[in-house]
Structure 1
Amino acid sequence: MSGERFILASKSAARRAMLEGAGVPFSIQVADVDEDAVKAGHDPADAAGLAVELARVKALAVSRHDPEAWVLGADQTLAFAGGLVSKAPTLDAARARLAAMRGQVHQLHSGAALARNGQVVWSGVDTATMRMRGFSDGFLDAYLAAEGEGLLASVGSYRLEGMGSQLFGAVEGDYFTVLGLPLWPVLAELRRAGVLAT
């Protein structure tokens, strides 16, 4: 579509699927960054800011090695009960987390950053408010059995594009933001950068 090269600095299958679905040509180069170090130096109360900072760090890590390409970094954080939630390490931990969030509200913050020549040229974040329904223990067990360890790749231990949609009573915000990328602003920046046709 253009002479510009575009790299997604993420191993997320959902982000890859969103860009492919939108007809965006790209390659993938996973950013090698110490996310724990970034989190340790960030205010845990600022979950939205952390999503952007992680996206910026990832975009820069890849851009420094391939300065001529446009590089998209992205990350997602989950804020619940005044704290920051990380990915569950086990299905037992995922079950405990989902049980704690049952009947409650949490926020998903999807951050993105576009870099070129080792510099961030744009970054942004979008937030979705997730209202979990009061599902039964029986449903929770069936859900975990059906979805399996794939849930451990998601910060919320659910995939809205799968059976995880049944965990919710309502979602306020953009569907793509829930999946892990503020797609509309990203597409606008890719048009501005000349990666996509206007």
Structure 2
Amino acid sequence: MTIWRGETPLILASQSAARKMLLTNAGIPFEAIPADIDERALQKNSGLSAAGDIAALLAEQKAAYVSLRHPGRYVVGADQTLALGTRLFSKPAGRTEAADQLRALAGQTHVLHSAIAVACDGATLFSHVSVAHMTMRKLDDAAIDAYLDAAGEAVTSSVGAYQLEGLGVHLFELIEGDHFTILGLPLLPLLKFLRGEAMVTI
């Protein structure tokens, strides 16, 4: 028996495997249709500098972009930014940049800002930003190389060069924040919104 009461499935404006997994496990039917937007250009042109504000903007823009192309559908956009003090990180372009990011983050506490937005016909209906504090172990070059060898190309698919649901868990000493925030889709606020819209039965 399905818990979904929406007339059509959600659209997830992302191809993130972790985000897809979270919605699937929660019993929410969806289609994954990524937003074809230039995130870095949007960030630069916005003039925003706070990590949470940038994540919120990008989540809203992704949701709006896809929702305009699929009239009447509820679209979930998501974005995640990583900040170490005032320095913001993007997905590493390759192994060298991944190693540089890990050297910068090692032994430090960084902050993940995970934003979600729901849009319909280009209008934002809901947005939320959750925060997690991540303390990475002290890592020497040998440990970083061993991790990069084991993780392979996956390190370029996530900001900070790690995926906590995979080998990235070995890098950490302390984590403060919910699992969904860390995986890039604050699920509890999203489910609360969907309940308010009478789209789920639980």
For Structure 1 versus Structure 2, the TM-score category normalised by the shorter chain is over 0.9
Alignment of 1:36-51 (within 5 A): 36-43=40-47, 45-51=49-55
Q: Deviations over 1:52-73 (max 9, x none)?
A: 1000000000111112111000
Matched with 1:183 is: 187
Task: Summarize deviations over 1:6-62 as a string: whole Å, max 9, x none.
Answer: 100111111001111111111111111121221102345310011010000000001
List alignment gaps of at least 5 residues for structure 2: none
Residue 83 of structure 2 corresponds to residue 62 of structure 1:
no
Equivalent of residue 155 in structure 1, options 145, 153, 159: 159
Q: Secondary structure at the match of 1:88?
A: coil
Give SS of 1:2's match. coil
Q: Deviation of residue 166 (structure 1)?
A: 1.1
Say which of 65, 72, 75 aligns to 2:79.
75
Question: What is the match of residue 178 of structure 2?
Answer: 174
> Does the 8 Å CA contact 2:6/2:200 hold for their aligned counterparts?
no
Please state if 1:23 is matched with 2:27.
yes
The alpha-carbon deviation at position 178 of structure 1 amounts to 0.6
The residue aligned with 1:117 is: 121
What is the alpha-carbon root mean square deviation over aligned residues? 1.2
Q: How far has the Cα of 1:159 moved from its partner?
A: 0.6
Normalised TM-score (structure 1): 0.96
Give the 3 Å change call, closer, same or farther, for CA 2–95 of structure 1 in structure 2: same
Q: Tell me the equivalent position of 1:34.
A: 38
Alignment coverage as a number of residue pairs: 198
The runs of 5 or more residues in structure 1 that have no matched partner are: none
SS state at 2:61 partner: helix
**Equivalence for 2:5:** 2
| Mapped pair 1:92 → 2:84 | no
CA drift at 1:174: 0.9
**Alpha carbons 1:71, 1:115 under 8 Å: kept:** yes
CA deviation map 1:71-98 (0-9, x unaligned)? 0000100111312111110111101110
Measure the CA separation in 2 of the matches of 1:118 and 1:141: 44
Give the fraction of aligned pairs with identical amino acids, expressed as a percent: 45
Provide the C-alpha distance between the structure 2 equivalents of 1:44 and 1:149, rounded to a whole number of angstroms. Answer: 30
- Shift, 1:151, TM fit: 1.0
Deviation larger for 122-131 or 37-46: 37-46
Query: 8 Å contact 2:12–2:31 — kept in the other structure?
Result: yes
Q: Offset of 1:193 from its aligned partner?
A: 2.1
Shift of 1:117: 2.3
Separation in 1 of the partners of 2:199 and 2:32? 15
Q: Work out whether 1:12 is the aligned partner of 2:16.
A: yes
